[in-house]
Structure 1
Amino acid sequence: MPRHATRFTITALTSALLLSACASLEPQAITEEQNRQRIVDDQARMYRDQEPVTTPITFYEAAARALKYNLDYRLKLMESALASDLRDVSSHEMLPRLVASAGYAGRNNDSGGTSIGIEDREESLRPSTSEDRYRTLYGLGLSWSLLDFGVAYYRTQQKADQMLMADERRRKVAQNVLQDVRNAYWRALAAQRLMPEVDQLLARTHRALTQAREAENKGLLPRQEILAYQRALLDSVYLLTVRRQDLEFAQAELSALMSLPPKTRMVLADMPEPQLPQIGAGIDQLELLSLQNRPEIMEEWYRKRVNEKDLKIAKAQLWPNVTFDYGYRYDSNSLAYNSHWNATGLQVSMNLLKLLQLPSLNAAQASQGNTDDMRRIALSMAILTQVRVGALRYQLARQEVTFSDESLRVDQSLLNYAQAAQRNNLGSELELIRAEGRYLLSRYQREAAFSSAQAAWGRLYNSIGLDILPAEIDKHDVKTLANEIHRTLNEQEQKRLLVTQQGTPYAQPSL
């Protein structure tokens, strides 16, 4: 076969292979079976390795389950681990490069050459070669670059700061989860207490409403009076139904926060209500604690250091780069006098035009620092506002609990009076149902006021940024973790929120 025909055949085969490779890069949609399998796998991973619910759940156990199994918190844990791994990867980039190589070289003819005189341009040597057509090559080289070392050094510091930022985000998620649990738990407990009574009263109200309609049709009572009773019953049904929906939502929210598997029966521990704490720390001390502990402020501080490293890297690239190379080489060329040798090199290079960037980098560094400081200061001001509003909201929530206790006492007395005055006639039965409805609504309002006060306390605790967890929660079971959360919360509250070092009382803030 002629040489040009052989080359054409090789070219055609190569083109066919490239085209077939490009065709295989067409987008491949996920099949329905793959999608179903993904759903099954994801659902299994959502609830994998969870401790079963065997006893009534206390508040601290609910918090422990939420923090141990909450998917958002687990995601932040993985992000922290990823940041740590990336820091370790960056630290290895500071090491010199040690490259081992092996290869095979060949050609279909001899390389070689001749030489001509510089002055007379006459050929002085006949064509010759000093290289075999086919030979093997080996090498082991060590190289080190000053610029690469400096960039890797700053990158490693950046990754370390980003790891700390990830830890602060994990802290914030943990604090938010605890706040959400505190808000949902007491509403869910109120639902567990009230829903059976609400359901019973709704059934009685529907029966009374049916009786009232029958009395209207038979003319047993004046029409205006019976319609007024029906209106009162319908209002009671509406209010009770709305409150019942709120109670159901609270239970569903708490179950989702704890990542309980579907159809898991959730029973909360119906223990006596804890006493609402009275704040003993002054507003100035609370603000100082928030500036010291809030994860967002610490994250902004680390972000400023990351931004500073970016500008330091840009400046490092302006200066001369020193590269050192040392290596061992082997060539199987039989025509070479030395088939193996050691190679050493030292090179200094610098892009002089890059020095023109120095004034702009200095200006950018100043602007970046001012921007980072202003962002942190603005965030600090927002946090101080949160602390003041949170403290005031908690005080108002405590007052609302006191008012709801008084309302519940009055409605309890009215219910007792209606029960004592009940007669065997329709009007008294309807009045008793209305009294029971008012009493249940008062109980709901009292439970809602208490849960709101707990939520306000949780927001105040969260606005200060106090920690609630041990270093590693995966090593603790739910019971141990619940005890640790209980101990930590009590310790933080007793030392930092309820009393001061000077024993000064808390002054209600003015907005």
Structure 2
Amino acid sequence: MHRYAMKHLNVAIAASVLLVGCSSLEPQPYSEQENRQRIVDDQARMYADQEPVTAPITFYEAAARALKYNLDYRLKLMESALASDLRDVSSHEMLPRVVASAGYAGRNNDSGGTSIGIEDREESLRASTSEERYRDLAGLGLSWSLLDFGVAYYRTQQKADQMLMADERRRRVAQNVMQDVRNAYWRALGAQRLMPEVDRLLERTNRALGSAREAEQKGLLPRQEILAYQRALLDSIYLLTVRRQDLEFAQAELSALMSLPAGSRMRLADQAEPALPVLKDDITALEQLSMENRPEIMEEWYRKRVNANDLKIAKAQLWPNVAVDFGYRYDSNKLLYNSHWTETGVQVSLNLLKLLQLPSLNAAEESQSATDDTRRIALSMAILTQVRVGSLRYQLARQEVEFTDESLRVDRSLLDYANAAKTTSFGSELEVIRAEGRYLLSRYQREAAYSSAQAAWGRLYNSVGLDILPESIEKQDVKTLAREIERTTVARERNGLLAASTQGGGNASIPQ
């Protein structure tokens, strides 16, 4: 009776679990409170565990902050770690299966029956049973399949290649972050230098514009002359305002790259500008470097192996499957002669119809290999174009810096002359404002040209595919990481990019 009650209790529990499971399939949108809490938690995690900014930031410290705290790069690190974990999981699938089991079986009546003769169809025994109604079961079994082993072997190779692909993507993101920082840092530093002077000149120009309007109202000067004067001042204000917006955007971009919280105060180290490297005309060596180092090419090469293993898995499923089983069993049934026993088995099976797929798989293998090679070659051609364009762009950017240096020298002389010839007339004041505006514009153009040259150098460095990171960045503070990035970058420029550009003679200046 107790067992009969237990049976009904088990049925009731199973029905309850089924009902609860069905009710959980209903859509369950997040509440407004959960959404608000999610926003708070996400914002806290964006800026968690960051070192505070306590001193002016150098270029390499900006790069260190961007690479240490940039969320895109951190995501690629996690993807690399995930790929490594999946490879480890896949490798365990090659092991034999060892299954331990334990259970309980019961029924409300006896299992058994009678037997009849095959020829005369007469019943030879009365009804009997050799099985108790309720009994305990246990077992420990080992099984191994040749087909499962082969598939798991190729899957593990795929996961290993996917781990390498994830690492190449991490390299690419790190290189892109470094390039973006190089571009934004020098523009932001120019903004830091120029914005106070631009603000002072804007204030001075607005005062001069107010005085001109007052003179117009009082009729102190001919109307055409005073309107032309105001027009010149308004043009100057417009140019200065546009340049000021460009400068503000540069600082905001750098702050975002370093993942600084909104409203953080940022001061850049106003150090001497590093000399721009002199790149010689040896494009062949640079192209060779790019073919050796670009992460995109390496990722495509690993992808070819992944695709090839897909077809190997399909071919492995055509093999004859050999399955080996060994197990230990226990049954508490007292009517059994042996309650403990071991069992073994070997089975060989082959799906003959699947062999018809072999010609198609061979053709697919050839097509897949040709497609992968063509994709990699097309990518390589695009990369070689990047190297050629990057080299030309950098050479032109260096020439633009030289031109803006000369323009800045001339406008500085014109400003000195205007200040020396200044009188109390409106025209004289306008000429000084114009000269100062031209001088600030020349300074802006010079800062922009230098930052463009640095960006062009960064793009060329990136197009060649040279790494900029030490082996590990997680456990290093910002200053230590900055020193390692500087050491790594300068060494790879000297031994890679600049070494390739000076083969056959000539020396190149190295960034300090």
Q: Normalising by structure 2, what TM-score?
A: 0.95
- Measure how far apart 1:263 and its partner are: 2.2
**Correspondence list, 1:22-33, <5 A:** 22-33=22-33
Letter in 2 for 1:503: G
For the Cα contact (< 8 Å) 1:216–1:226, is it kept in 2? yes
> How far apart in 1 are the matches of 2:124 and 2:422?
134
SS of 1:129 mapped into structure 2:
strand
Structure 1 unaligned spans of 5+: 1-6, 507-511
Instruction: Say how many residue pairs are matched.
Output: 501
> How far apart in 1 are the matches of 2:20 and 2:159?
42
* 2:229 alignment counterpart: 229
SS of 1:497 mapped into structure 2:
helix
For the Cα contact (< 8 Å) 1:324–1:347, is it kept in 2? yes
Deviations 1:372-409 (A, max 9, x none): 00000000000000000000000000111111111111
**Correspondence list, 1:222-301, <5 A:** 222-280=222-280, 282-301=282-301
**Correspondence list, 1:311-326, <5 A:** 311-326=311-326
- Measure how far apart 1:20 and its partner are: 4.9
For the Cα contact (< 8 Å) 2:94–2:148, is it kept in 1? yes
* 1:105 alignment counterpart: 105
Letter in 2 for 1:421: A
For the Cα contact (< 8 Å) 2:282–2:503, is it kept in 1? no
SS of 1:116 mapped into structure 2:
coil
* 1:504 alignment counterpart: 505
Deviations 1:97-121 (A, max 9, x none): 0000000000011110111111111
For the Cα contact (< 8 Å) 1:116–1:123, is it kept in 2? yes
Runs of 4+ in 1 over 6 A off after TM superposition: 7-17
SS of 1:318 mapped into structure 2:
coil
**Correspondence list, 1:2-13, <5 A:** none
Deviations 1:6-47 (A, max 9, x none): x99999997676445422321111111111111111111111
* 2:3 alignment counterpart: none
Letter in 2 for 1:313: I
Q: Normalising by structure 1, what TM-score?
A: 0.95
> How far apart in 2 are the matches of 1:175 and 1:472?
15
Residue 477 (str. 1) matches residue 493 (str. 2): no
SS of 2:112 mapped into structure 1:
coil
Alpha-carbon RMSD: 1.9
> How far apart in 2 are the matches of 1:102 and 1:20?
27
Residue 438 (str. 1) matches residue 438 (str. 2): yes
> How far apart in 2 are the matches of 1:318 and 1:13?
45
Deviations 1:279-323 (A, max 9, x none): 146100000000000000000000000000000000000010000
Deviations 1:110-134 (A, max 9, x none): 1101111111111111111110010
* 1:183 alignment counterpart: 183
**Correspondence list, 1:387-426, <5 A:** 387-426=387-426
Structure 2 unaligned spans of 5+: 1-6, 508-512
> How far apart in 1 are the matches of 2:411 and 2:359?
76
Residue 465 (str. 1) matches residue 446 (str. 2): no
Aligned in 2, Cα 1:502/1:244: closer, same or farther, shift over 3 Å?
closer
Letter in 1 for 2:185: Y
* 1:340 alignment counterpart: 340
Aligned in 2, Cα 1:9/1:173: closer, same or farther, shift over 3 Å?
closer
* 1:3 alignment counterpart: none
> How far apart in 2 are the matches of 1:14 and 1:54?
62
- Measure how far apart 1:137 and its partner are: 0.3
> How far apart in 2 are the matches of 1:21 and 1:473?
46
> How far apart in 1 are the matches of 2:58 and 2:80?
29
> How far apart in 1 are the matches of 2:11 and 2:99?
34
> How far apart in 1 are the matches of 2:8 and 2:276?
89
* 1:303 alignment counterpart: 303
Q: After the TM superposition, which of the residue ranges 282-291 and 254-263 deviates more from structure 2?
A: 254-263
Letter in 2 for 1:504: G
- Measure how far apart 1:471 and its partner are: 1.3
For the Cα contact (< 8 Å) 1:96–1:142, is it kept in 2? yes
